[in-house]
Structure 1
């Protein structure tokens, strides 16, 4: 009882903190702040998920999937009574479509819930997506069930109206204090990761003293310092997106370089991404990028930076989930998808 009371108190305190942060003239990062917070509280009080027993022990090799799965297993939202469930979780590790066919066929044979919606009130984890198949079971899983995938998702493996993505694990620790006034040293900062060499556009900025383009990854202390002293942090979609939550938290506005539409940003049901990050194509080259950044200044820049700092709290991963963190905001997105079509079962006379 004491634990529940403490959790409720902390939740209300955090709600007040978030509300104050985005009130009094400060910009809000949310698509609808007035509806999100009361809906979130309702979700936490009423949402129930039934987890099908897996056929074998599941070991996710991708840390974000593993953390989400373990958090779900221990969450108060999980129920052992499928009759009260809003959604159903289908647990499986990466496997062939033939194996997936057997997984869904087993669920369909042992439980009545799949056939009520043809899998539309079910969800699963997969960073690789579900491949093409002639199997009815796999087709329904891919077409109807909610896929929780990694960001960015593989091409053609993400369906925007139903699927959601996991935020990167870069904020799997305590959120830093909100930055106030920035001491700007660089207009733009790009951090190379591993063997990635950066795009042609990024390479064209190497000799510009207003931009810091790292040729080798810096250590964490220097990295955080550079986030704090840069106006914009540059990311090439499909190359390196892991660190953008840290950029948000430290007041560095993300600039995503891409020539294709992005439909799988984390929390697209919740956040107003156009007020948090810039999205720039490569066709205008280096000078075009500079023009975009130079036009994003003054009041607009400060609003984007403030909105990003406010949004960063939702990208924090905790070993034990906390209110409004990455796990619970994923639960909120699932809750928004809980209304599924349920088909009448034909009775043969």
Structure 2
């Protein structure tokens, strides 16, 4: 029997992807087809055609044994070759689905007024306007993401450094994303790793710093070693990392040292999708594969009540610009040197006086200055958006969040560090008409930076996933 089974396996090696058929050429025979599929709905159904033979005594038996054909099918179910065939078929179907998504997005790209064609949608929810690079293409891509994207979250590891993260400080987005993808409505998560388009490694760099880093040593080796060990575990236990060399895997970190931690594994650093607040191109951030993550500071885990309902659009904003913050990094000292205490229109402080309220000043200012500190990202950008104060970006080498989709020039102002001495002149040169458009743009993009629990369509959680989705559909595997 073992010899006969080996013969059947050798014949199966000739199977092609398009059809799974074993043909045995014998005289005086007829065919019996047996279909089988995996336990999961949606699996491709493969068909093995086992030839049977009519003997002289008119007994019908399988060519290779007196066992019925189903016996061989049952034995073959768990055979490596059959598993590879099923995996390849499933993989092909997945890539074909992504190809259809790409085609539909390209088609939408050519139609800028797509919102007028959309039926069955709340048109107040459909993205429109100059704040988008192409609203139609973005909407179609978003819909395709909702329809198709599946994320596998590795279950290895324990809290606090895995499956957990900060939810109540400057790195809030790190913990909130992990919590939402693991404990949210589960729309995008799949427990079947073979069905996933992307694979999430749910470790927290912020908690690594808290539990592994020795203060004042500036020794980041423990962080890198942790990441290296983590990748070693998942790449040894599962085939998915090695199949794509990590190209369809992503990590997420808001801590400044996220990029440094990712250096713990060279393939992760160079090939995988890194979702980072510290999106600094001078430190290896690659916008072709990496994702810029907005930094959101939630004191106590909640948005300040003053920012939940900004004043009406026509409310007076008596101050031209505002900034208050610690003196660190290369840009803030220049800002403080030229403007602190120099002008009543430009309210610039290193330490805000106790009788002044930070968010009240934002709500009273037309422009909010967002200089980088030690690293490029600043939570002031999102705070400015929440307060409907036009962000003024004072940062070098910074890839702004969601810039694949959003036209930041439609709702923010970019000022080079060399222009800081002329900052008031630069801002006053912006016409009132343009300022009004910028402020309207800020109001339009606010929903894309909001943290909701549970998450809502087009909010920051979904925008992060969409950024990952864009990189996955642009990645052609195989």
Q: TM-score, normalised by structure 2?
A: 0.61
Distance change (3 Å), C-alpha of 1:322 and 1:108: same
Aligned residue number for residue 201 of structure 2: 90
Aligned residue number for residue 457 of structure 2: 323
Q: Do the aligned residues in 2 keep the contact of 1:147 with 1:164 (CA within 8 Å)?
A: yes
How many residue pairs align between the two structures?
322
Aligned residue number for residue 320 of structure 2: 187
Counterparts of 2:357 and 2:277, CA distance in 1 = 27
In the alignment, which of 376, 382, 388 is matched to residue 251 of structure 1?
Answer: 388
Q: Do the aligned residues in 1 keep the contact of 2:153 with 2:199 (CA within 8 Å)?
A: yes
Secondary structure of the residue that 1:270 maps to in structure 2? Answer: coil
In the alignment, which of 17, 20, 25 is matched to residue 124 of structure 2?
Answer: 17
Alignment of 1:1-349 (within 5 A): 16-19=123-126, 22=128, 27-57=129-159, 58=162, 59-61=164-166, 62-74=171-183, 75-94=186-205, 95-126=222-253, 127=255, 128-131=257-260, 138-151=265-278, 153=280, 156-170=283-297, 172-173=302-303, 175-176=308-309, 179-192=312-325, 198-205=332-339, 206-217=341-352, 222-238=357-373, 241-258=378-395, 260-263=396-399, 265-286=400-421, 288-339=422-473, 340-343=475-478
Distance change (3 Å), C-alpha of 1:213 and 1:180: same
Deviation for aligned residue 1:153? 4.9
Counterparts of 1:170 and 1:293, CA distance in 2 = 26
Deviation for aligned residue 1:216? 3.0
State which drifts further: 214-223 or 243-252: 214-223
Counterparts of 1:133 and 1:204, CA distance in 2 = 37
- By relative contact order (CA 8 Å, sep 6+), the higher-ranking structure is 1
Deviation for aligned residue 1:312? 1.3
Secondary structure of the residue that 1:79 maps to in structure 2? Answer: coil
Q: Alpha-carbon deviations, 1:252-302, whole Å to 9, x = none?
A: 1111223x2322x1111121012221121232442x212211221222211
Aligned residue number for residue 213 of structure 2: none
Unaligned runs of 5+ in 1: 1-11, 344-349
Distance change (3 Å), C-alpha of 1:142 and 1:44: same
Q: Do the aligned residues in 1 keep the contact of 2:223 with 2:261 (CA within 8 Å)?
A: no
Structure whose alpha-carbon radius of gyration is higher: 2
Secondary structure of the residue that 1:16 maps to in structure 2? Answer: coil
Counterparts of 1:169 and 1:96, CA distance in 2 = 23
Unaligned runs of 5+ in 2: 1-118, 206-221
Q: Alpha-carbon deviations, 1:188-214, whole Å to 9, x = none?
A: 111235989942233422221211123
RMSD between superposed Cα atoms in Å: 3.1
Secondary structure of the residue that 1:147 maps to in structure 2? Answer: strand
Secondary structure of the residue that 2:424 maps to in structure 1? Answer: helix
Counterparts of 1:120 and 1:36, CA distance in 2 = 23
Secondary structure of the residue that 1:207 maps to in structure 2? Answer: coil
Q: Do the aligned residues in 2 keep the contact of 1:237 with 1:257 (CA within 8 Å)?
A: yes
Deviation for aligned residue 1:215? 4.5
Q: Do the aligned residues in 2 keep the contact of 1:191 with 1:217 (CA within 8 Å)?
A: yes
Q: Alpha-carbon deviations, 1:12-56, whole Å to 9, x = none?
A: 999522448x4xxxx531111111123212212221001112233
